[in-house]
Structure 1
Amino acid sequence: MVFADSAPGGKPREIAIAPAESKHLGWFVVLLPFALLTFALAVLWWRGERRTGPAAWTWLVLLASAVAAGWFHGILQPVALPGLALFALAAFGVFRPPADRRVRLLAHVAFVGLAAALMTHQWPGFANPRVIHARLFTPDALPFRLHLNFDKACLGLLILALGARLLGAWSEFGGMLRRLWPVALGTVAVLMALALVSGYVRFAPKLPPETALWLWANLCFTCVAEEALFRGYLQNRLAAAWQNRSYGPAAALVVAAVAFGLAHAGGGLAYVALSTLAGLGYGWAYLRTGRIEAAILAHFALNAVHFLGFTYPALARN
């Protein structure tokens, strides 16, 4: 469904570099920090289970390089840095918990508050560049704007780097895909059928010039960040807290899905309902496989089918 960074018809919630300014900076300047973040994500899987040596911390060098490039080119201001540093510290406290229960609780409270601020672009100092400007992919669609969100991308990277158990071998990846594909296929089929029946979208296959840019940004900076937070943190932590109860895994899945839906409240009730149902699918993928990669791929599959095959982001009457 329409799981873009801003709700259909809504105003972007982040600071955007104006089109003229983006052109002046040049595509290389705008994209360099995000390319470095992408490499940092890729390194996490290359690292695998190695927790010592250069492989363990290459992602951090790339993250620091991305921050430096973003700062140099005006995408980050100095006030953004404490937000990232505090979130990294909170994430370390959450995923490497100290013995003191009060410190652990403080880490979780700080983590949730800072995650909310970064996800909704409320922490100051980020000038997230707009790379698609009010684009009509079909005549009957709402205009679509795409921002590359540095704050949100860093959130996803830090959660995965500090707290996720990632796939370490191609054999594991194949096994995960075998368990994932029925869930992903069912999620895509159900959500797109509901969107069609409700008049939210129409069948509109397309391959616009922005496809590669959209696919990259959606996978690396939207799907990774949202699944890292809602499944990798929220669903996982709730399941652990309720592990001695028979309903624990199912309840954790539902709570995380509802939270995911409410996070998309800017698009109205229909948008929240569809997002919640999608969250159930992503959560099921995570529960069935035990892998955050499964949730990310299920999320990306739905978004890609929506973008390539149907009205995007939604019909204008919505």
Structure 2
Amino acid sequence: MWMLLAASLLVSGFDRRVALFLLLVATVWAGYSGVLQPAGVGVMAVLAIMALLLHRYRQIGAVAVGAELGLLFIAINLLSHFAPGFNNLRVLDQVRVGEMSAPFSMYYNFDKALLPFVFLAIIPSLFATRPLRHAQRRHWLLLIVSLPVLLLLATVAGGLKIEMHFPQWFGQFFLANLFFVSLAEEALFRGYLQRRLSQLIGPLAGLLASAVLFGISHLAGGALLVGFATVAGVIYGLAWMWSGRLWVATLFHFALNLLHLLFFTYPAYRP
């Protein structure tokens, strides 16, 4: 089921019909296995109705705005796990990847994985659009180098320690973090928010505003995490701004998380 869900997300930027078919099969499977409960089916039905209304009446301003705001409201609830009817699978329960790492749990989140589909309904060109700015090779190189530099700065600040590991559940982490975390969050913060804010207040202000909102979304982790998540949001935002490709921003997001897991205390330092 989870591989089907990931496959639907993988092809959603290339062939929407195939993606929706795979999503439908994954949804039926999720209902059969208990991951998706009746209330969750209702949430998905409301999403489908709003998406159809937006597609049908996109040229009618009031209907389009209302449908978009409704989809955004549900998307935020999916991101925060407030939407009812989703019994997400807990893959890891309070494990410690290393002696200095804090214990953490990991889930396969069906609700959060729906975000790219929600924003694809709002913005058909979610996965590929014209870059807002063009960058040279040296700019891309600096952006790539900024990923390990940010983690090293977090180490200097005391939030992390260098601790190398390759856990046996690496494959599960790869699947969950790439598709159900990185892609989902980038669909919201870069594919939707940064694009809309850039249209309203300009590319640079849109970049910074979406990065700040991304940092605030990590408020539960404390002020230090909010600060570093904001800087990370700038990195992901530049990747999106320079490429116009949602997957480019997603791969930067995933690369930072992967470096974090492999070479530093994960998710934080706690001896």
State TM-score, norm by structure 1: 0.77
Q: In the alignment, is the contact (CA less than 8 A) between 1:78 and 1:125 conserved in 2?
A: yes
- Code of the residue aligned with 1:114 in structure 2: it is I
Partner of 1:284: 238
Deviation (angstroms), 1:82 = 2.2
The 1-side partners of 2:39 and 2:14 are apart by: 32
Task: Quickly say closer, same or farther: Cα 1:281–1:94, change in 2 above 3 A.
Answer: farther
AA matched with 2:267: P
Aligned to 2:124: 163
Pick the aligned partner of 2:65 from 105, 109, 117.
105
Alpha-carbon distance between aligned partners in 2 of 1:312 and 1:177, rounded to the nearest angstrom? 33
Question: How far, CA to CA, are the matches of 2:56 and 2:229 in structure 1?
Answer: 31
Letter of the 1:193 counterpart: L
Aligned residues of 1:184 and 1:301 also touching (Cα < 8 A): no
1:187 equivalent to 2:146? Answer yes
Match of 2:197 in 1: 238
CA distance in 1, matches of 2:172, 2:136: 25
Residue aligned with 2:172, SS: helix
Paired residue type of 1:133: D
Q: Following the alignment from structure 1 to structure 2, what is the Cα–Cα distance between the partners of residues 153 and 147?
A: 11
Which of 199, 214, 219 aligns to 1:265? It is 219
SS at match of 1:127: coil
Structure 2 counterpart SS, 1:103: helix
For the aligned residues, what is the CA RMSD?
A: 2.5
Tell me: CA distance 1:292–1:177, structure 2 relative to 1, closer, same or farther (3 Å): farther
Give the C-alpha shift of residue 110 in structure 1. Answer: 1.1
C-alpha displacement at 1:61, in angstroms?
1.1
Give 1:181 shift. 4.4
Larger relative contact order, structure 1 or 2 (CA cutoff 8 Å, min sep 6) = 1
Match status 1:119 vs 2:73: no
Q: Is the 8 A contact 1:180 1:285 kept in 2?
A: no
SS at match of 2:185: helix
Is 1:316 the counterpart of 2:270? The answer is yes
Deviation readout 1:81-103 (Å, 9 max, x if unpaired): 22223334445666786222222
- 2:243, 2:38 → 1: CA distance? 40
Q: What is the identity, as a one-letter code, of the residue corresponding to 2:124?
A: G
Structure 1: distance between partners of 2:184 and 2:138:
22
Matched, 1:221 2:177: no
* Aligned with residue 152 of structure 1, among 105, 112, 123: 112
Closer, same or farther in 2 for the Cα pair 1:177/1:60, shift >3 Å?
farther
Q: Give 2:108's aligned amino acid.
A: L
- 1:132-175 Cα deviation digits (max 9, x unpaired): 1111111121101100000000122443476335469xxxxxx9
Structure 2, unpaired ranges of 5+:
none
Query: What amino acid is the match of 1:109?
Result: L
The alpha-carbon deviation at position 187 of structure 1 amounts to 3.1
Rounded to whole Å, the distance in 2 between the matches of 1:40 and 1:179 is 34
Correspondence for 1:67 among 24, 27, 46: 27
CA deviation after TM superposition for structure 1 residue 206, in Å: 0.9
Task: Name the CA distance, whole Å, in 1 between partners of 2:266 and 2:225.
Answer: 13
2:259 corresponds to:
305
Distance 1:95 1:182, change over 3 A: farther
**Which residue identity is paired with 1:163?**
P
- Quote how far apart the aligned CAs of 1:109 are: 2.0
Q: Distance in 1 between matches of 2:147 and 2:98?
A: 21
Instruction: Please state how far the C-alpha of 1:216 moved relative to its aligned partner.
Output: 1.4
The answer for unaligned runs of 5 or more in structure 1 is 1-31, 48-55, 169-174, 243-247
Note closer, same or farther for the CA distance 1:163–1:157 as it changes in structure 2 (3 Å cut).
same
1:179 Cα shift?
8.3
